[in-house]
Structure 1
Amino acid sequence: MKITEGYMPFKGYQTYYRIVGECREGKKPLILMHGGPGSTHNYFEVLDQLAEDGRALIMYDQLGCGNSYVDNRPDLWNQETWTEELIALREHLGLKEVHLLGQSWGGMLALSYVCDKKPEGVKSLILSSTLPSSKLWAEEQHRMIRFMPQEMQEAIAHAEETGNYDDEAYLKANEEFMMRHCAGTPDPEGPECLTREKKSGSESYVTAWGPNEFTPLGNLRDFEYRDQLGDIKEPALVISGINDLCTPVVAKTMYDGIPNAKWELFRYSRHACFVEETEKYIQIVRDWMNEND
């Protein structure tokens, strides 16, 4: 399968992209937007197989992480920068008609892009383990924290009260929370892309989101699109896992709010359904794009 790598000039830096496969007539390319902010495209490589039936996949490292790593630029780590980057990437690669897949923060980016910019040529949205509202997300994470051991609940509450996120008890509690609802340590025998060393954008994550998944203190803390979901014209596939940070309440909010939406709930997954149930994910996304080309 053909793989093309390159860099796009952006804001005086470079945005790395990776294109898998080529599009046959009638099949529109898929742009994949990773989470974080600052998570890198790496985990999306488990989806390379999606290109086998004649569809190009475009993955990229958003500015601030991975092969697009930049640090000491907190002024850049915001919704506007990454939206401009997505617009620039479409233009740079001549992507007039596309499907968009955003996971976690990448789905927030997709939602804000279609709601605020109303772009042409978006055939469909795939909203994977994402959110329409930082407030709702934080409420749901705190609801799930109440199922943790009492001492861990107290450690998290203490960290939030004091602003000290370096305490050992808090770190242990946060690790447990993420293991339950996000991901564990990658299997050394698993796909190489999941264990590969990478430059995570920790500065971009903390600046834009906050110290952890349940305390949005960064500039995305007021991210709120629930009232705009009804204006989305594109068909949308909502994907979430049963033990996901994107709880069924968050997923159903998007499913109920977007007029032409479908929801797939993955029974054995946490926050990265495409990693934990890869074959099912590929089949569902492939069928979805074939229906909406």
Structure 2
Amino acid sequence: MAAPVTEGTAKFGDYQTWYRITGDLSAGKAPLVVLHGGPGCTHDYLLPLAAIAETGRAVVHYDQIGNGRSTHLRDKPPEFWTVQLFLDELKSLVDTLGIAGRYLVLGQSWGGMLAAEHATLQPPGLRGVVISNSPASLELWSAEADRLRAALPPEVEETLRAHENAGTTDSEAYRDAMRVFYDRHVCRVPWPDELSRTFAAMDEDPTVYHTMNGPSEFHVIGTLRHWSIVDRLGAITAPTLLISGEHDEATPATVKPYHDHIADVRWEILDNCSHLPQIEDTERFNTLVTEFLDTCDA
């Protein structure tokens, strides 16, 4: 039988955080809380992880504030959108669901950055962390993005640069050129509906993504552009699994600081995958995650 699915909202200050639980939170295994990327994406593209609930572990997806089915705040100024805001929201959700005494987190891309920030605080109930396709520094990320862009067809890179310099990154030509990069380094298989839904939601309300990141994955000009956790990674004591893809925009150079500075860590690089291995090789990804989470329970 398929694991039951329940949906609801958790109060977060004056706002509401929407969540989806697959499985039973009261089951014996520690629940897994899934943190989506962006900042500014939605939970949809991470729904392949819901299958982990078939192992008897509840899986919690949620839309971070400003996105998806949670409260939208289009008029908030840039200074409202901070890492601390999303850390506070995560803590609020864990407390509301009554799982603060024993839980795990998996963050993908920006979600992995947020998961690492959360882990540096050493919450007593955190049993393990999965950091998937995430950089430890956005300056490293931008430098590596420039390297990957240099390998694009010259006319594609010229189009990207021209529109970035002109401030016309909302043009169709920029989007077409952007997709060439995305098809190499973000998702190398036909985009499933859950990924298309995520991008459609971002297009409908790009407030968070444009404010904190920028107009694309490789043109980071938002408020997070100088973010780094490298000098704080030694504070992470929870067992940690790193996952990245062979063709990932989160290149080995951007992930390596996690491996170098977290005491209890392992790193898996998935062949033939890029930034979304949970979509590109779902079975392999979920098996890796499940096996790691089971060791955290033990």
TM-score w.r.t. length of structure 2: 0.90
Unpaired segments of 5 or more residues in structure 2? none
How big is the shift at 1:203?
1.1
Encode CA deviations 1:87-126: one digit per residue, 9 max, x unaligned.
10011111121111000010111111222x3322111110
How big is the shift at 1:252?
2.3
Q: What's 1:272 paired with?
A: 276
Cα distance change, pair 152–209 in 1 and its aligned pair in 2 (3 A): same
How big is the shift at 1:227?
1.3
How big is the shift at 1:24?
6.5
Alignment-mate amino acid for residue 226 of structure 2 = D
How big is the shift at 1:25?
5.7
- Taking the aligned partners of 1:89 and 1:127, their CA distance within structure 2 comes to 19
What SS does the corresponding residue of 2:119 show, helix, strand or coil?
Answer: helix
Q: What's 1:105 paired with?
A: 110
How big is the shift at 1:196?
4.8
Kindly indicate whether residue 243 of structure 2 is the aligned counterpart of residue 239 of structure 1. Answer: yes
Alignment-mate amino acid for residue 164 of structure 1 = T
Cα distance change, pair 241–83 in 1 and its aligned pair in 2 (3 A): same
What SS does the corresponding residue of 2:69 show, helix, strand or coil?
Answer: helix
Cα distance change, pair 166–56 in 1 and its aligned pair in 2 (3 A): closer
Number of residue pairs matched by the alignment = 289
Write the mapping of 1:81-230 to structure 2, written as runs, cut at 5 A: 81-95=85-99, 96-115=101-120, 117-183=121-187, 186-187=190-191, 193-194=194-195, 196=197, 199-200=201-202, 201-230=205-234
> Relative to structure 2, which stretch is displaced further, 139-148 or 157-166?
157-166
Encode CA deviations 1:6-33: one digit per residue, 9 max, x unaligned.
0012232211000111256641110000
- Taking the aligned partners of 2:196 and 2:210, their CA distance within structure 1 comes to 23
Unpaired segments of 5 or more residues in structure 1? none
State whether residues 229 and 254 of structure 1, in contact with CA within 8 Å, keep that contact through their aligned partners in structure 2: yes
Query: 2:35 aligned to 33, 36, 43, which one?
Result: 33
What SS does the corresponding residue of 2:135 show, helix, strand or coil?
Answer: coil
- Taking the aligned partners of 1:112 and 1:151, their CA distance within structure 2 comes to 39
> Relative to structure 2, which stretch is displaced further, 119-128 or 192-201?
192-201
TM-score w.r.t. length of structure 1: 0.91
Alignment-mate amino acid for residue 143 of structure 2 = E
What SS does the corresponding residue of 2:6 show, helix, strand or coil?
Answer: strand
Encode CA deviations 1:39-73: one digit per residue, 9 max, x unaligned.
11112221222111211111101111111151423
Cα distance change, pair 260–5 in 1 and its aligned pair in 2 (3 A): same
What SS does the corresponding residue of 1:254 show, helix, strand or coil?
Answer: helix
Q: What's 2:252 paired with?
A: 248
What SS does the corresponding residue of 1:118 show, helix, strand or coil?
Answer: coil
State whether residues 31 and 101 of structure 1, in contact with CA within 8 Å, keep that contact through their aligned partners in structure 2: yes
> Relative to structure 2, which stretch is displaced further, 153-162 or 86-95?
153-162
CA RMSD, Structure 1 to Structure 2 (Å): 2.0
How big is the shift at 1:164?
3.2
Alignment-mate amino acid for residue 114 of structure 1 = A
State whether residues 17 and 65 of structure 2, in contact with CA within 8 Å, keep that contact through their aligned partners in structure 1: yes
What SS does the corresponding residue of 1:68 show, helix, strand or coil?
Answer: coil
How big is the shift at 1:129?
0.5
Percent identical pairs in the alignment equals 37
Encode CA deviations 1:194-240: one digit per residue, 9 max, x unaligned.
45586334111001111112222211112111111122111110000
